[in-house]
Amino acid sequence: MDTKTEARDFLISRRNRLTPQQAGLPVIGGHRRVPGLRREEVAMLAGVSLEYYVRLERGNLGGVSEQVLDSLSSALQLDEAERTHLYDLARNATHRRTTRTAPKRVVRPQVQWLLDQMGGSAAYVRNARLDILATNAVGRLLYAPVFEQAGGNTSRYIFLCEESAREFFVDYELIANNSAAVLRSMAGENPHDPALSRLVGELSTRSERFRQLWAKHEVRLHRSGVKRFNHPLVGELTLNYEAMDLAADPGLRLNTYAAEPGTESAERFGLLVSWALSGQSDLSPAAPTATDQRFDKA
Domain CATH number, residue 46: 1.10.260.40
Task: Choose the weakest-confidence range: 104-118, 124-138, 150-164, 192-206.
Answer: 104-118
User: What is the count of structural domains for the chain?
Assistant: 2
More confident residue, 67 or 32: 67
Nearest to 36 by CA among 57, 52, 55: 57
Q: Residue 30: pLDDT band by 50, 70, 90 thresholds?
A: low
Q: Tell me which range, 32-46, 87-101, 147-161, 181-195, is most confidently predicted by mean pLDDT.
A: 147-161
Whether the Cβ atoms of residue 176 and residue 211 lie closer than 8 Å to each other: no
For the cut 50, the answer to whether the pLDDT of residue 255 exceeds it is yes
* Position 123, amino acid: A
Q: Are residues 177 and 227 in the same domain?
A: yes
Q: Are residues 29 and 88 in the same domain?
A: yes
Q: Is residue 266 part of a domain?
A: yes
Mean pLDDT over the full length of the chain = 90
Whether the Cβ atoms of residue 21 and residue 217 lie closer than 8 Å to each other: no
SS3 at position 103: coil
Tell me, what DSSP letter sits at residue 135?
E
SS3 at position 106: coil
Mean local confidence (pLDDT), 5-19: 95
The residue range of the domain holding 120 is 109-297
pLDDT digits (tens, 9 = 90+) for 171-204: 999 999 999 999 999 999 888 889 999 999 999 9
Whether the Cβ atoms of residue 253 and residue 246 lie closer than 8 Å to each other: yes
More confident residue, 193 or 295: 193
* Position 213, amino acid: L
Q: Is residue 180 part of a domain?
A: yes
276's enclosing H/E stretch is helix 264-277
Question: Rounded to two decimals, what is the model's pTM?
Answer: 0.86
pLDDT of 104 = 57
